[in-house]
Amino acid sequence: MNEFNALANEICDLTLTWEPKLLALPQQVISERQNSQHRTIKQILGHLVDSASNNTHRIVHLHYQESPLNFPDYAHFGNNDKWIAIQNYQEEDWQNLVRLWKYINLHIAHLIRNVDSSKLDNIWIAATREKISLKTMVTDFPRHLKLHLNEINELLSD
């Protein structure tokens, strides 16, 4: 049994639990309520798509590239806000965005189940020069997902 099955299951469970909640939200709520970073629910979900996409690429690259890996870091120095703006998640069709988020999370869960344990110590160097192992990256993904889902929950309770 893969040591990451529980993490992958957690990602799938969160995704499948949240999908109907997200789809049921009114347009005004997803487009107007903002978190402390001035992101709407649509933009938060777009950020989660970017996170899953970037982590998918890092996980794959850490399987076959030389370690340590220098791979672009979208999340530091305001770059994640550039990603959100360039992709204009605020104007994205909500149903499509939720589906994209759902399927990219189900895919990363699949990928996490298939991580080669001999590669877990391979290192990615973040923009901050921090060295992050493949194992750390994989185990941290659900925490990041829950962090932003909790932000959405807070916005829904306002």
pLDDT exceeds 60 at position 1: no
Q: What is the pLDDT of residues 88-111, one digit of tens each?
A: 999 999 999 999 999 999 999 999
Q: What share of the chain is helix, strand, coil (3-state, %, to 5)?
A: 70, 5, 25
- Expressed as residue numbers, the domain containing 61 is 5-157
- Cα distances (Å, whole numbers) of residue 92 to 20, 123, 133: 18, 34, 33
- Residue 129: closest CA among 70, 78, 82: 70
Token representation of residue 115 = 């991580």
Round to whole Å and give the CA distance between 121 and 6: 20
Tally of structural domains, the chain: 1
pTM for this entry: 0.93
Q: What is the pLDDT of residues 45-85, one digit of tens each?
A: 999 999 999 999 999 999 999 899 887 776 665 678 888 88
Give the residue, 141 or 85, on which the prediction is more confident. Answer: 141
